[in-house]
Amino acid sequence: MRATVGHALNQANRPVTGIRQQPGTPEDELAHRFRAGDEQALREAYDRYGRAVLHLATSTLVNRSDAEDATQATFVAAWLGRETFDPAKGSLVGWLLGIGRRKVIDRLRSVARDNRVVETVRQLPDPVPSGSDPDTVVDRLVVADELARLPDEQRRMLELAFFDDLTHQQIATVTGVPLGTVKSHIRRGMASLKRRWEVDGAAPGARSAGLSGAR
């Protein structure tokens, strides 16, 4: 089963085998149609990336209905502001997550304000909601999306290293792929993940290291 973060067209044809699209092409084409105002592209973008945006919202916001509101607001804002999306500065999903990140931060601030008001009344010690940090969640989603887009062999080797904690030598033994080839797949895969994180990631380290995203 391959990783499918924000990547499957929909549930029905979520890829479960090694069948792979041309790298980048369907995403680029979708981004182009989205920006041009093709209504069908909005639905496709939602089918592909709605899960990732909802995940960002549910893992950062405590209240489920706040998270769904933030998801809705993200896609509405993205569609109404689609002309500000610049494909040269990052991917469509990276841009959507950037908007989603702002929406959840706005909501977190508003919750924090409300909590401060409540706190002054109740004298509660800890008003901070216990959700994850939005930047980390965005970074994780962006890297997961890039991992899903890697050529099959690169992705397979990296998954064995990341998820199964195998060494290069063990991966070569398990897969029967020569050690030199394993090294080269992992090196290239890591370089792609890093580049993507630098372009589309939210954390300060990512942004200062890479291009400034559309946010």
Residues lying near another protein in the complex (CB under 8 A): 1, 3-5, 11, 39, 42, 46, 50-55, 68, 71-72, 75-76, 79-80, 139-141, 143-144, 147, 158, 161-163, 167-168, 183, 186-187, 190, 193-194, 197-198, 205, 209
Q: Smallest distance from the beta carbon of 17 to another protein, in angstroms?
A: 15
Q: Is the dihedral of CA 40, 45, 50, 56 positive or negative?
A: negative
Q: For another protein, which is the closer residue by CB, 112 or 209?
A: 209
Q: Smallest distance from the beta carbon of 99 to another protein, in angstroms?
A: 13
**Cα–chain-centroid distance for residue 163?**
18
Q: For another protein, which is the closer residue by CB, 18 or 122?
A: 18
Q: Phi and psi (nearest 5°) for 108?
A: -60, -40
Q: Report how far residue 89's alpha carbon sits from residue 207's, in angstroms, rounded to the nearest whole number.
A: 12
Q: Smallest distance from the beta carbon of 208 to another protein, in angstroms?
A: 10
Radius of gyration over every alpha carbon of the chain, rounded to an integer in angstroms? 19
The token pair that represents 63 in the structure block:
């209240």
Instruction: Let me know: does 2 contact 155? Beta carbons within 8 Å.
Output: yes
Closest CA to 53 of 10, 13, 103: 103
Max distance between CA atoms of the chain, in angstroms, equals: 66
Q: Report how far residue 69's alpha carbon sits from residue 15's, in angstroms, rounded to the nearest whole number.
A: 29
Q: Smallest distance from the beta carbon of 125 to another protein, in angstroms?
A: 30
Q: For another protein, which is the closer residue by CB, 52 or 61?
A: 52
Q: Smallest distance from the beta carbon of 196 to another protein, in angstroms?
A: 9
Q: For another protein, which is the closer residue by CB, 128 or 163?
A: 163
Q: For another protein, which is the closer residue by CB, 4 or 115?
A: 4
